[in-house]
Amino acid sequence: MSIASQPDRVIIFDTTLRDGEQSPGATLNVQEKLAIAHQLSLLGVDVIEAGFAVASPGDFQAVQSIAEQVGILGGPIICSLARAVRQDIQVAAEALKPAARPRIHTMISTSDIHLQYQLKKSRREVLAIAQEMVAYAKSFVDDVEFSPMDASRTDREFLYQVLEGAIRAGATTINIPDTVGYCTPKEMGNLIQGIQQHVPNIHQVILSIHTQNDLGLATANALAAIENGVRQVECTINGIGERAGNAALEEIVMALQVRQPYFNPYFGRAVDSDAPLTNIKTPEIYKTSSLVSQLTGILIQPNKAIVGANAFAHESGIHQDGIIKHRQTYEIMEAAAIGLPENRIVLGKHSGRNAFRTRLKELGFELNETDLNKAFNRFKEVADKKKEISDWDLEAIVRDETQIQVESGFQLEHVQVICGDCTCPTATITIVTPDGRILTDATVGTGPVDAVYQAINRLVQIPNQLIEFSVQSVTGGIDALGTVTIRLGHQEHTFSGQASDTDIVVAAAYAHINALNRLYRYLQTHQLDSVLVSG
């Protein structure tokens, strides 16, 4: 059944790989984008905006690979963004060719402030370009989405005219962006109602919403739009995106699920209808959220709705008392609904490979033999230091050991640190270079992590600055695994790295190597090799 014939549910358009990747420092390589796209497909999103194909050769390759490998028959629609410019549209169409269901998403600004200062074009010109470029996109694909950028600050009469023209030219989805996150929910409702009333052909298309989170209203605005007839929502995992980000997929989906009786009537359904309002498989939410956080290096704030570490934690005595007596006193959804591991202690150092594999399967990780072996060896190492291995630990181990490795990157062989209050923190590091040389160096630093970073940098010789460093404990307890997440800056680019270990200095060293390998790979693919290690 085509999406167009299912307007009584919400179409989830995920833009983690396009708007989400526009988050400062969230640069992803093609393999990482593919891994996220595969997981988004498992999650059940309807549309994946895989990138902005014309932006760079890497973006083109990512859109093309996702179209080929994820956009298969029965899979999601694969979409590329394109400005209302011929070359953008041509390149998007080319990248999308392998997809079973390709979509071109073309956009042009319509607010006076954008026209005057950015586009330097008149309303009449923009009106003509919008129609011409939608028709041009339509000459490549049937499925064309049109966005009037900064719609919420656009003169209403002009907005209606542009939309009517875009639909006449062949758009099948009309997306209304609140580009600068300026709307309030009530205004959003009025905007959508106005469009429904004044654009005569609006009922021929799917109406969509794109809300930014500058005032923290992205989810509220998206839900207000749904209440007023919008049937596609553009959102990202963990709400990442330009500036303060986008509406978070997990928040929209869980609001529609938990408050289904409230939303049902807006879809013309009986209050108690239990046919889902989205196609999302909610038990995949937690895994998708962790993967996106790990690969983008953007940590999730602990109090983030749905996926934050505290979202299901009850601290106060009164709340704990209530939960023990009857869960629903203080819990409106179960952690299991989003696939959150229960933190049951299941494995220890005597656990065998079979138990390990079985538990991972229960947690939703299906590893190939190589990754399973790597993860099992690491599990044994950790179990030697830490008596009880929780689901959270297992997840960190799998994340570390199945990280998308940069072919021929640097490998960390040894980390040794001396530190204390009356000694100069000193690190000795051994690495293997991409061409197989084994190098050792030792440095002093202001602390053990600084010493480790300086020693690694001297060996690797790729200029970088440490922009951000954070340590999170995977579980409670003195023997907990610590996850270190870092961001490195190189010129105007940022690269993240993450690693876990019971020793946080060791975790920091691996996180640094992981980030450097991303930087190294970037330099290789962009042929900026003048700064790479020599001799």
Nearest to 77 by CA among 33, 1, 143, 176: 143
Cβ proximity to ligand KIV: between 210 and 359 the closer is: 210
Which residue number has the CB closest to ligand KIV? 177
- Residue nearer to ligand KIV on the CB measure, 32 or 145: 145
Find the shortest distance in angstroms from Cβ 189 to ligand KIV: 19
Q: How far is the CB of 79 from ligand KIV (least distance, A)?
A: 11
The closest of 300, 223, 211 to 247, measured between CA atoms, is: 211
Nearest 5 degrees, angle CA 242-CA 30-CA 145? 55
Angular region, 263: left φ>0, alpha ψ -120 to 50, beta rest: alpha
Q: How far apart are CA 520 and CA 528, in angstroms?
A: 10
Question: Tokens representing 104?
Answer: 């071109």
CB 493 → ligand KIV: shortest distance, Å?
A: 21
Alpha-carbon distance of 462 to 396, in angstroms, equals 28
Q: Which residue's entry shows tokens 């209808």?
A: 273
Candidates 80, 147, 496, 517; binder of ligand KIV (CB under 6 A) is 147
Closer of 175 and 296 to ligand KIV (Cβ): 175
Residue 107 touching ligand KIV (CB under 6 A)? yes
Q: Quick count: other Cβ atoms within 10 Å of Cβ 461?
A: 13
Q: Which element (helix H / strand E) includes 398? A: helix 391-401
Among 149, 300, 340, 396, interactor with ligand KIV by CB under 6 A: 149
Type and span of the H or E element at 493: strand 493-501
- Distance CA(62)–CA(78), nearest Å, equals 11
The reply on whether position 239 binds ligand KIV by CB under 6 A is no
The distance of closest approach from Cβ of residue 370 to ligand KIV in the complex, given in angstroms and rounded to an integer, is 39
Residue 236 interacting with ligand KIV (CB under 6 A): no
Please enumerate in sequence order all residues whose Cβ is within 8 A of that of 146, keeping only pairs 6 or more positions apart, or say none.
105, 106, 107, 130, 134, 163, 166, 171, 173, 174, 175
CB atoms within 10 A of CB 402: 17
Q: Is 2 exposed, middle or buried (0-12, 13-18, 19+ CB in 10 A)?
A: exposed
One-letter identity of residue 426: T
**Residue 147 or 483: which CB sits closer to ligand KIV?**
147
Closest CA to 146 of 411, 321, 159: 159
Looking only at residues 12 through 31 of this chain, which bind ligand KIV when binding is defined by CB under 6 A? 19
- Binding-site size for ligand KIV (CB under 6 A) equals 10
Q: Which is nearer to ligand KIV, 131 or 208 (CB)?
A: 208
Does 59 help bind ligand KIV (rule: CB under 6 A)?
A: no
Which lies closer to ligand KIV via its Cβ, residue 235 or residue 412? 235
Our CB check for ligand KIV shows the closer of 162 and 346 to be 162
Residue (81 or 397) nearer to ligand KIV, CB: 81
- 212 lies in the binding site for ligand KIV (CB under 6 A): yes
With respect to ligand KIV, which residue has the nearer C-beta, 208 or 498?
A: 208
What span, in angstroms and rounded, lies between the C-alpha atoms of 11 and 232? 4
Question: Which pair of tokens denotes residue 160?
Answer: 């209606």
The nearest distance, CB 107 to ligand KIV, in angstroms, is 4
CB-nearer residue toward ligand KIV: 175 or 496? 175
Residue 177 near ligand KIV by CB under 6 A: yes
The helix, strand and coil proportions of the chain, stated in percent and rounded to the nearest 5, come to 45, 20, 35
Task: Based on the shown chain and the rule CB under 6 A, indicate whether residue 179 belongs to the binding site for ligand KIV.
Answer: yes
Q: Which of residues 67-106 bind ligand KIV (CB under 6 A)?
A: 81
210 binds ligand KIV (CB under 6 A): yes
H/E stretch holding 105 reads: strand 102-109
Cβ 339 vs Cβ 286: under 8 Å: yes
Residue span binding ligand KIV (CB under 6 A) among the ranges 152-160, 174-182, 274-282, 355-363:
174-182
Angle at 291 between CA 286 and CA 292, to 5 degrees: 100
| Nearer of residues 91 and 455 to ligand KIV, judged by Cβ | 91
Long-range contacts of 435-442 (CB under 8 A, 24+ apart): 435/408, 438/413, 440/414
Shortest CB 500 distance to ligand KIV, Å: 34
Shortest separation between residue 246's beta carbon and ligand KIV, angstroms: 8
Determine the interface stretch with ligand KIV among 121-129, 173-181, 328-336, 419-427 (rule: CB under 6 A): 173-181
Sole window of 172-180, 347-355, 392-400, 406-414 interacting with ligand KIV (rule: CB under 6 A): 172-180
Residues 356-395 that bind ligand KIV (CB under 6 A): none
Stretch that binds ligand KIV, among 171-179, 283-291, 425-433, 488-496 (CB under 6 A): 171-179
Quick one: 187 or 468, whose CB is closer to ligand KIV? 187
Q: Is 208 in the site for ligand KIV (CB under 6 A)?
A: no
Binding site for ligand KIV (CB under 6 A): 19, 81, 107, 147, 149, 175, 177, 179, 210, 212
